Chains A and B, each alone.
Chain A
């Protein structure tokens, strides 16, 4: 009785989360996908480092930090372009995207220098 009710509750929770998320605008969904891609790449590198050791440590740091940085910048973009977020309602989404691109350029410049 108890077990089936927990399963049912969890199912209901996922159901409601999914229906709520399906209402999210497409541009935010694209950002989410992008963040997931970055986090997944970072995880692969951490596992790889655990297997082969930390020898080119600068390369490892730049590889992971490029993913983490990308994810952080994408989340910042998501906060700024979200219509429901009243804090940035004066900030046009074009401006937010331009900031995002500029920060990414700086990030990758640093990463390229630190990689080798």
Chain B
């Protein structure tokens, strides 16, 4: 009896969490585990965390070496997102390890990972598995002697001001990024074998990655625009990963600090960090750029029911509704580049869908003069949006023998010839028999 009470109590206490969790109908993450090296980060990065909480996220702060860390319980994930602000942690506490973090992403959950100077092998390995290679020199930093941020104290040009943003409204929001972003940390390059990773904030061509305290004896391994400062990965299961080389760029100090790029007279009161990080975190936690396709319909022109099979040369209509998640509700997705394929080994028909600007995409076309098992396919992959891969199978049959026209006008001479030889046969027989 006591056991039952405890179980139901546990269930009741988890109920609100279960109801709020990530689901296909409500794709925004809700519960986020934040792993920190030091609880001091909680106050030094409070603007970032507060902004997340104000947007409705439940943050669960834990030290990275806490023995109680558990991503899942009874096979269910307890979190929808993971923020790893623990660049120096060599081992996570509890049972969490590299494979668990990767499994978490593989099951469709989101990750924000920030490395920093002296990042541990564990953090580097997680990044490497995501297709991002940090500079191998542990004390290397990104240095830029032409695009550094003008500052009173620091003279080693490691605080750089970058405005090489990815050109994507869905990732960085529709508001234009005015001020450059301040960055102080380690650079990384994208693994060319991984085509899902992409640079969001790049370094200028004059940047390089080296230890600022020692003399540069060898040419730096990472230089110029090969250096990525912040990268994102959208996995094939639409899990999103943000990898940054600087923990400082999320800090209150850089959020509030003014910025002036060396050699430029423009002085901004406030750096672009807050806008950049906020907009990017909205994207990572699926508050933007998440598409869903519903009501995939197809039918013959003039009918409304979906047939089980089409005949060659039928005229059909295809429609699908596509919505984008705005963080609170599904809004119609408007675009003019959604295409449908009528596909059997290769696309026989490829048509751009028309839209009514309210999320409905439709077109009509003629089934090709080929029978077999076809698919309606929509493969929609756009920068920053979750990918849509819709496939619906439909067989196509040839004409039945009674569906052909009974008499074909073109064949009338042949009919005539056949009947005239027949008539000729009768006339010939009579003449032949009575011509004695």
Contact = CB atoms under 8 A, between A and B. Distances in A.
A97 B407 CA distance: 34
A27 B432 contact: yes
A63 B429 contact: no
Given A97-B432, A111-B418, A59 B425 contact: no
A60 B418 CA distance: 10
A111 B415 CA distance: 10
A58 B413 CA distance: 13
Contacts of A97: 432-433
Contact of A38 (B411, B413, B424): B424
Interface residues of A, number: 33
A30 B415 contact: no
Contact of A66 (B408, B417, B428): B417
Contacts of A82: none
A47 to B, nearest CB: 10
B429 A101 contact: yes
Q: Interface majority SS on B: helix, strand, loop or mixed? A: helix
B414 A115 contact: yes
Given A56-B408, A97-B432, A116-B407, A70 B425 contact: yes
Interface string A87-109: 00000000001000100100010
Interface string B391-412: 0000000000000001110110
B408 A108 contact: no
A44 to B, nearest CB: 7
A30 B432 contact: yes
Contact of B435 (A30, A37, A59, A62): A30
A45 B413 contact: yes
A50 interface: no
B406 to A, nearest CB: 7
Contacts of B421: 38, 41, 66-67, 70, 108
A26 interface: yes
Interface in A1-60: 26-27, 30-31, 34, 37-38, 41-42, 44-45, 48, 52-53, 55-56, 59-60
Interface residues of B, number: 21
A37 B424 contact: yes
Nearest to B429: A101
B173 to A, nearest CB: 61
B435 A26 contact: yes
A42 B422 CA distance: 13
Contacts of B435: 26-27, 30
A38 B428 CA distance: 11
A72 interface: no
A98 to B, nearest CB: 11
B420 interface: yes
A64 B420 CA distance: 12
Given A60-B411, A63-B411, A66-B422, 19 more contacts: A27-B432, A31-B432, A38-B424, A41-B421, A45-B414, A48-B413, A53-B410, A56-B414, A59-B411, A59-B414, A60-B414, A63-B413, A63-B418, A70-B425, A74-B428, A104-B425, A108-B422, A112-B418, A115-B418
27 contacts: A26-B435, A31-B428, A34-B428, A41-B417, A42-B417, A52-B410, A53-B410, A56-B408, A56-B411, A59-B411, A59-B414, A59-B415, A60-B411, A63-B411, A63-B417, A64-B414, A64-B417, A66-B422, A67-B421, A70-B421, A104-B425, A108-B418, A111-B418, A112-B418, A115-B414, A115-B415, A116-B407
